[in-house]
Amino acid sequence: MTRMVVDSNYLRSPALSDYLSASPDNYAVLTDYAAMEAYKGDPQVIFHSMEILSAHPKQAIILKGTQDVCGLNAHETARAESLIDAEQTRHFPEFCRQLAIARNGDRLIQSQLQELGREAAAHMNRVLADMPLLDLGFEKIAATYSPDELKILRRGEAITPQMGDKLAAQVMWLAAELFSTHPKVAELPRGPEVRNTFIFRHAICAYALAINAISHGGAGRAAPQKLRNDLVDVNFATFATFFDGLLSADKKAQSIYAEATFLLREVFVMPVAA
């Protein structure tokens, strides 16, 4: 069985159809951000975004919302199944059937889809409002590197052992910040088990995004809308670390995922799942 997290930009790709058609054991894993991206705009957007998945409704896995996953403890997230919303996954074929009814003119379902679209847009606007905070985080990370080290990052060269120590310390700092401010976190993980948590892996992916921004001249040059899209990429990449990979047409998202899996494997060695 192969379970790949699907970026919203991949939902309409013929490559997704090829992947699902290749084997009934190939699954598309959908996050809440994929749903929000698909719902944006009028119902025609969701109709087109779900067209390929509607042809393979039993090969879709729907995940719990990001906020709820952040609240799961390390023992729960040691198993990817704990991230799955079993009820939504079970009812996805019926959801696809309702979409077909709406597409054929059912005004009630269309109005419900429009309301979901408004809610998705409102959430994305709230994310956009946090972009100045993201800039500050990038600047704080950049400030820890010397001019010579920044040159190494911008040239894409192998980092020094000293830079590796900074990397580990900064990821832990970022994770601690996220743990301390997230409303769903009831208790802090202890020791190596932190590596199993969504928030820690999100910190690794956010750090990979920061290094990408620094190596291209700094995050301050990017528009808030672009930074928001980058943050969505971080979300997809984080979820992908719990499954078998990421299907995305975005090179930056793929780069973030690749860097995160490397760090988990080589720097933050995963403990044996309990």
Asked if 124 and 229 count as a contact pair (C-beta separation under 8 A), the reply is: no
What rounded mean pLDDT belongs to the chain?
A: 83
Highest mean pLDDT: which of 117-131, 145-159, 194-208, 217-231?
Answer: 194-208
Q: How many CA atoms within 13 Å lie on the side-chain side of 262?
A: 10
Sheet holding 2-6, edge to edge: 60-62, 26-30, 2-6, 246-247
pLDDT of residue 271: 47
One domain for residues 119 and 134: no
Integer Cα distance of 156 and 36 in angstroms: 34
One domain for residues 21 and 113: yes
Instruction: Flag whether 273 is in a domain.
Output: no
Instruction: Flag whether 202 is in a domain.
Output: yes
For 23, list phi and psi in degrees, rounded to 5: -160, 140
One domain for residues 123 and 154: no
Integer Cα distance of 150 and 186 in angstroms: 37
Give per-residue pLDDT as tens, 34-50.
Answer: 888 877 666 777 888 88
pLDDT class for 136, splitting at 50, 70, 90? low
One domain for residues 106 and 229: no
Give per-residue pLDDT as tens, 211-239.
Answer: 877 776 654 555 667 777 888 899 999 99
Instruction: Flag whether 197 is in a domain.
Output: yes
DSSP sequence for 142-165? HHTS-HHHHHHHHHTPPPPHHHHH
Give per-residue pLDDT as tens, 37-94.
Answer: 877 666 777 888 889 999 999 999 999 988 889 888 888 888 999 999 999 999 999 9
Asked if 5 and 29 count as a contact pair (C-beta separation under 8 A), the reply is: yes
Asked if 33 and 55 count as a contact pair (C-beta separation under 8 A), the reply is: no
Print the domain residue range for 90. 2-127
One domain for residues 193 and 118: no
Asked if 32 and 65 count as a contact pair (C-beta separation under 8 A), the reply is: yes
pTM (2 d.p.): 0.85
Among 142-146, 159-163, 187-191, 238-242, the minimum mean pLDDT is found in: 187-191
DSSP sequence for 101-116? HHHTT-HHHHHHHHHH
One domain for residues 105 and 155: no
One domain for residues 155 and 239: yes
One domain for residues 136 and 164: yes
Domain count, the chain: 2
Instruction: Flag whether 231 is in a domain.
Output: yes
Instruction: Flag whether 271 is in a domain.
Output: no
**Nearest Cα residue to 84 out of 51, 92, 169:** 92
Asked which of 77, 95, 127 is the last residue of a domain, the reply is: 127
Asked which of 75, 99, 127 is the last residue of a domain, the reply is: 127
Asked if 8 and 28 count as a contact pair (C-beta separation under 8 A), the reply is: no
Locate 122 and state its tokens.
């409102």
One domain for residues 15 and 123: yes
Which stretches of the chain are assigned E, i.e. beta strand? 2-6, 26-30, 60-62, 246-247
Asked if 45 and 114 count as a contact pair (C-beta separation under 8 A), the reply is: no
Asked which of 127, 152, 170 is the last residue of a domain, the reply is: 127
Instruction: Flag whether 63 is in a domain.
Output: yes
One domain for residues 258 and 153: yes
One domain for residues 111 and 145: no
One domain for residues 166 and 96: no
DSSP summary character for residue 40: S
